Structure 1
Amino acid sequence: MESFDIVTITVNSALDKSTHFKGLVPEQKIRCDEPRYDVGGGGINVSKAISRLGGTSLAVFTSGGPMGKMLEELVAKESVEFKAIEVQTWTRESFVAVDDNTNSQYRFGFTGGKISEEESERILEAIAALKPKFLVASGSLNEGLSDDFYRKIAEIAKKSNAKLIVDTSGEALKKALEVGVYMIKPNVGELAKLIGVERLELEEVNEAAKQIIAKGGAEIVVVSLGPQGAVLVTKDVYEFVPAPNVAKKSTVGAGDSMVGGMVWALSQNKSLKEVIRWGVACGSATTMNEGTQLFKGEDAKRLFEWLKNK
């Protein structure tokens, strides 16, 4: 198999379906527009984002049943190289519906089907056989996978000297940090939980991130601040970037796009100042599109130019 500088991993992949309707009324049949289908799941979205910036990556993801086959076809249409690992349970769906009367967005997510122990081992073996410079593990874990699954991936990355970026939350993230990773992207609430406090104010984020870095949990901590922007922290660097003011239509995939923009920039040997700005540009550009579409390359580049001097 061709070698790739960037490999993304999605164990809980999804087929994203989005639509529009007019008026949410209980007990009545809601007439919806023809649905739009997009590929989904953290790592797959990261690979899509990288592709839209002109980069290449290998997307490794689970695929099961008819939904899995449809997912593979859609990934191929995105011009993303991929390795699908077949599993017995069907690939899950996620559903986004927008009420045109109120412009309210409703997001429905389903849990992923159970992954067997044998399938789990096949996923880990596939990852171990790859030797990328950057390895991205993103998204939630399926039923059947233990909380230490990303920890096992961290151990694989350490052995192969791959720089591991983990974008998840809860115990799965905590256990990965015990091994040590290259970069994480929590929001403020998730960062608070990682250091064992109830909440954090904005002025406390830098010190909280440095606690994780000092313990060897991560080299880079990027904290998403939602509409306020994001900060990037290392032991020597603190970079705050405000989010540009754009007309928001959907936040689906914004976090994954942010990770994709940053990993692409890292692979291009950009400075950390540029890395965080590419991340914010891609995340913000995604919110400009409806449903689950992610961003347009030209929008991300335009926003990056605006952010260069911010």
Structure 2
Amino acid sequence: MMKAWVHHETGAPDVLRLEDRPQPRPARGEILVRNRAIGLNPVDWKFISWGRAGWDWPHIPGVDGAGDIAELGEGVTHLRPGARVAYHNDLIRPGSFAEYTVIPARAAIPLPDALSFEAAAALPCPGLTAIQAIEKVPLWSGAHVLLTGASGAVGGALLQLARSRGWIVHAVCSAAQSARVRRLGAATVLDYRQDNWREIAAERTENQPLNAVFDMVSGEHAASLASLLTANGHLVCIQDRQEKAPLPPFTTTISLHEVGLNAMHAHADDLHWGKLVDAGATMAKEIVSGRFDPQIIEVESFDQLPAALTRLEHGPNPGNRVVVL
């Protein structure tokens, strides 16, 4: 048996109950991870509230975790018991809010020995989402991009990746996070609470065109920024997507992109996962070397998980919240 946070119904994080549940066993192509730390993400509290078709009840939520491999399923030869890994798990599966979690072996991100499990657990969902977003856009060193939600976990990861590629990042966030976002590499910062920030951004594009916009808010919000892009620019939606073209045809002919990390579990092949895991492993090494900030703002104990998830729901969240076992 194992301890796990489960919910028998949908609702706020306080519907979670700490219960004894059967310890799972890995099937072919899977591994069993002994969780040492759990990364909390907005998708966790959202799906506890919404529910999802295909869940077995009671459900163990949680998509991100880090720990060591306790058992290998049949056919897994590229990993070994005891190896340190982080992972992003499919929302449909029993999740990471437990002492043990079964994951597909192809989703295991190898970790350097020097990386703490706390930092590793903050990596998968924000980091892999940022990697997916940035790889949508084939830009050059010196390209100018606009990033909304720059102070959040995904936004901060994307900002750091963009700077590592030599892009000039114009960030949008709250004024309270301006200094931190500049430390992460933003060239300019606009306060989204300022009514005319879009007009300021538009004036700047008259002298310095934007090659890409990365939006963390909604499809509608992203569409409102499409006119800021120069010819052949890129509009990347990390929340929602564009159901119709936001600009008239044969104008700036921008490209539209959607990002959905969880969709990888159902629709990506092993080659896709191999590339994503490799990128995650590189990010893990860069945390150790100090070239990437995991943006941890809270480390809480396992018995306080629902309270930490409630703080995540209500924010603010200028980074990642992590639970340790």
Name the larger-Rg structure.
2
- Could you tell me the TM-score, scaled by structure 1's length? 0.30
Larger helix fraction of residues: 1
- Could you tell me the TM-score, scaled by structure 2's length? 0.29
Structure having greater relative contact order (Cα 8 Å, sep ≥ 6): 2
